[in-house]
């Protein structure tokens, strides 16, 4: 067990914003691939993967890059769902909705995870800011 100094918790590794963006996208694409292998559409595996990704981003970001970590979750999920919609639009929405309609359908379907993940990232950042001050 690691020792703490003056009651403080051990420091987590802190990453710069560009590497966190790459990490978040890689984790989300891994969740999409795992969800695709386990079920015919995107479902709970992506949602749980998104929540864990948001928590990781909030914990690993450098203090100076809090803004990027705060806006990353919705942008990352939108980007990944757009990529899925461009490659296979039938996974997100039935019928002939096109890639834009499929992206919006995916965002609507995963809106609960989007809100919970974004709140998780923001609360994590707020708690880290309070502990650092």
* 33 occurs within a structural domain: yes
Within a domain: 24 = yes
Give pLDDT tens digits for 110-119.
Answer: 999 999 999 9
Tell whether 25 is covered by a domain: yes
Tell whether 44 is covered by a domain.
yes
Structural domain contains residue 22: yes
Q: Report if residue 3 sits inside a domain.
A: no
pLDDT at 107 over 80: yes
Question: Is 7 domain-assigned?
Answer: no
CB 97 within 8 A of CB 105: yes
Mean residue pLDDT across the chain: 87
Amino acid 2: pLDDT: 45
First to last CA, the chain: 25
**Number of neighbouring beta carbons within 10 Å of residue 124:** 19
State the total domains in the chain: 1
Q: Is residue 37, in this structure, part of any structural domain at all?
A: yes
pLDDT at 21 over 60: yes
Q: Where are the alpha helices (DSSP H) in the chain?
A: 17-38, 44-60, 66-87, 98-109, 111-132
**Residue 38: domain span:** 17-132
């Amino acid at each position: 067990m690691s020792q703490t100094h003056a009651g403080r918790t051990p420091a987590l590794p802190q990453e710069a914003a560009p590497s966190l963006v790459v990490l978040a996208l890689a984790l989300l694409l891994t969740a999409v691939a795992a969800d695709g292998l386990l079920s015919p559409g995107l479902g709970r595996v992506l949602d749980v993967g998104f929540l864990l990704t948001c928590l990781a981003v909030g914990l690993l970001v450098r203090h100076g890059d809090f803004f990027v970590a705060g806006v990353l979750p919705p942008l990352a999920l939108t980007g990944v769902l757009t990529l899925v919609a461009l490659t296979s639009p039938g996974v997100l929405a039935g019928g002939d909705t096109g890639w834009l309609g499929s992206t919006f359908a995916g965002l609507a379907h995963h809106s609960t995870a989007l809100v919970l993940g974004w709140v998780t990232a923001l609360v994590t950042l707020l708690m880290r800011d309070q502990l650092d001050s």
